[in-house]
């Protein structure tokens, strides 16, 4: 090969070695089919919803609008500003992916009930992952040599705000990781420039081996996320409402008692003209007016706190609901076959080129 390699010789050798190339293509095709057949099928369900986070305060919120209509300043009743739990305590959509991947949220999803397309009995997501998930080829081989754990350790139910320490077994941690890998959430701004505010479009995708499980699990994830966000955003407002409601109940009892005391005193001293009676009557009247003012103020604050809960409740609008997928999302049969055929053809051509380089004068 002192004078180099002629392209005509290369193409001629490739044509002569087409049998080798065909064999390489055949082997690659068989390997592609084996991978497609041995790889568990996966189905993906995509849910899209519009999240409108309420971060309004004062006159921009529902509370301010009602106050302006009634001519009252509901923002500063007796110096108590219930709007302090405004945007600072609102869970923004950008944090939703972190929430979905958190252990407490996944534990909540694990306890949701689903069923598969085979008509099996309803089961929790945890039981489905334990009994019906299809492991990979390596996982199946490991499962053969691994002793099965006959103990059924149910997953704990973690309550938001709890300070309890979670103790999860290796199997439970693996199930949580498997569920975390099945869920994907993306947050983006709406393409419509006419839509103002803090609205964001959430895209929740769930991939499972069963199409019905994929759809039901996606719907469960969305429901758990909506409940989590609503509870978080309205937690402070609900606490304020509970506190004001308790104070209102006490003030009402005190007001009614003061009214009854004043009425009894007036009835028993109707025709008595004494200075001491007048002083006592004036004292009881002032006490009654004081309780009446507190009762009226707390009644207004109670209504304000009730509206505050609604003002802090985010709105979720379903754009694309969960649908049972018809076609599988993985494995990609066409891409796998084409990829292996390209590799097989390349290997066959490379073999013939190596033969030509080693024996340029030889025949096929």
pLDDT tens profile 221-241: 999 999 999 998 888 889 999
The mean pLDDT value for 5-11 works out to 67
Long-range contacts of 141-147 (CB under 8 A, 24+ apart): none
Q: Which DSSP string corresponds to 239-294?
A: HHHHHHHHHHHHHHHHHHHHHHHHHHHHHHTTT---HHHHHHHHHHHHHHHHHHHH
Quick check: helix, strand or coil at residue 202? strand
- Radius of gyration, CA atoms only, the chain: 36
- pLDDT tens per residue across span 254-304: 999 999 998 888 888 777 678 887 888 889 899 999 999 999 999 999 999
How far apart CA 118 and CA 326 sit, in angstroms, is 15
Between 63 and 112, residue with greater pLDDT: 112
Give the pLDDT score at 116.
87
Question: Which band of pLDDT confidence, cut at 50, 70 and 90, is reported for residue 51?
Answer: confident
CA 299, 301, 304, 309 torsion: positive or negative? negative
pLDDT of residue 296: 93
The SS3 of residue 182 is helix
Is the separation of the CB atoms in 304 and 74 below 8 Å? yes
Task: Using a pLDDT cut of 70, give the percent of the chain over it.
Answer: 74
User: Residue 34 pLDDT > 70, yes or no?
Assistant: yes
Residue 180: exposed, middle, or buried by beta-carbon count in 10 A (0-12, 13-18, 19+)? middle
Q: Is 70 exceeded by the pLDDT of residue 154?
A: no
Lowest mean pLDDT among 35-44, 67-76, 129-138, 350-359: 67-76
pLDDT digits (tens, 9 = 90+) for 65-115: 444 444 445 455 444 454 444 445 678 888 999 999 999 999 999 999 999
Residue 316 DSSP SS3: strand
pLDDT of residue 96: 92
What would the pLDDT profile of 314-349 be if each residue is shown by its tens digit? 888 899 999 999 998 888 888 989 998 999 888 888
For 238, what's the count of Cα atoms within 13 Å in the CB-facing half-sphere?
7
Per-residue pLDDT at 269: 76
Specify the pLDDT at position 204: 94
Higher local confidence (pLDDT), 364 or 234: 234
**Quick check: 121 pLDDT over 80?**
yes
| pLDDT tens digits for range 169-223 | 888 888 899 999 999 999 988 776 655 566 889 999 999 999 999 999 999 999 9
pLDDT band at 144 (very low <50, low <70, confident <90, very high): low
Tell me which H or E stretch contains 47.
strand 43-52
Q: Cis omega (within 30 of 0) on the bond before 331?
A: yes
The answer on pLDDT for 351 being more than 70 is: yes
pLDDT, averaged across the chain = 79
Looking at residue 56, its pLDDT comes to 53
Question: How high is the pLDDT of residue 119?
Answer: 80
In this structure, the number of other CB atoms found within 10 A of the CB of residue 68 comes to 12
* 242-261 average pLDDT score: 93
How far is Cα 68 from Cα 74, in angstroms, rounded to an integer? 9
What pLDDT does residue 200 have?
86
What span, in angstroms and rounded, lies between the C-alpha atoms of 179 and 63?
Answer: 41
**What burial class does residue 312 get, using C-beta atoms within 10 Å of its C-beta: 0-12 exposed, 13-18 middle, 19+ buried?**
buried
């Amino acid at each position: 090969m002192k004078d180099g390699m002629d392209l005509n010789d290369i193409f001629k050798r490739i044509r002569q070695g087409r049998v080798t190339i065909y064999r390489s293509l055949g082997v690659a095709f068989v390997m592609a089919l084996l991978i497609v057949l041995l790889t568990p099928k996966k189905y993906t369900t995509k849910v899209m919803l519009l999240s409108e986070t309420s971060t309004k305060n004062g006159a921009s919120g529902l509370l301010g609008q009602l106050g302006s209509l009634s001519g009252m300043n509901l923002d500063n009743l007796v110096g108590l500003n219930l709007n302090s739990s405004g945007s600072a305590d609102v869970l923004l959509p950008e944090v939703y992916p972190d929430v979905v991947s958190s252990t407490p949220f996944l534990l909540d999803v694990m306890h949701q009930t689903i069923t598969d397309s085979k008509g099996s009995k309803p089961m929790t997501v945890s039981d489905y992952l334990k009994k019906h998930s299809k492991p990979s080829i390596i996982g199946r081989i490991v499962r053969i040599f691994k002793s099965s754990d006959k103990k059924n350790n149910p997953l704990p139910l973690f309550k938001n705000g709890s300070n309890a320490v979670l103790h999860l077994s290796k199997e439970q941690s693996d199930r949580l990781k498997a569920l975390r890998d099945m869920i994907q959430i993306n947050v983006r701004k709406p393409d419509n420039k006419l839509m103002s505010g803090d609205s964001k479009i959430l895209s929740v995708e769930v991939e499972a081996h069963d199409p019905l499980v994929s759809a039901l699990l996606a719907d469960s994830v969305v429901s758990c996320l909506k409940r989590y966000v609503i509870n978080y955003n309205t937690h402070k407002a609900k606490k304020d409402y509970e506190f004001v409601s308790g104070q209102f109940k006490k003030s009402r009892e005190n007001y009614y008692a003061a009214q009854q005391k004043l009425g009894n005193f007036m009835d028993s001293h109707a025709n008595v003209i004494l200075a001491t009676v007048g002083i006592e009557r004036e004292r009881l009247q002032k006490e009654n007016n004081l309780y009446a003012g507190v009762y009226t103020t707390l009644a207004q604050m109670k209504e304000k706190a009730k509206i505050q809960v609604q003002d802090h409740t985010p709105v979720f609008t379903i754009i694309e609901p969960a649908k049972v997928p018809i076609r599988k999302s993985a494995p990609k049969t066409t891409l796998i076959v084409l990829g292996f055929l390209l590799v097989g053809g390349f290997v066959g051509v490379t073999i013939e080129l190596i033969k030509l380089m080693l024996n340029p004068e030889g025949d096929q």
